[in-house]
Amino acid sequence: MNDKEILSKLEIKNGQLFLDGIELKGVTEYELKKCSTEPAELTLKVLVRD
């Protein structure tokens, strides 16, 4: 298995986040940071029920 087979696809559409085509539920906030010399950094705030 190579690195490309391990990576998931993250999309942001109309403020909603999708991972491999499935909407991530419970995300209340997100921040995406991109630096030209580093990979992008995604911070999520997620509502979790116990």
Give me the tens of pLDDT residue by residue for the chain, a chain 50 residues long. Answer: 555 566 788 898 998 889 999 998 888 888 888 888 888 888 888 887 76
Q: Are strands 16-19 and 41-46 parallel, antiparallel or unpaired?
A: unpaired
What is the per-residue pLDDT for 34?
87
pTM score of the predicted model = 0.62
The string of DSSP codes covering 3-33 is HHHHPPPEEEETTEEEETTEE-TTEEEEEEE
Q: What are phi and psi of 10, to 5 degrees?
A: -105, 130
What is the per-residue pLDDT for 47?
82
Number of compact structural domains in the chain: 1
Of 2, 3, 34, 7, whose CA–CA distance to 20 is shortest? 7
What is the per-residue pLDDT for 20?
92
Q: Write out the residue range of the structural domain in which residue 31 sits.
A: 3-46
Structure tokens at 30: 């997100």
What is the per-residue pLDDT for 44?
85
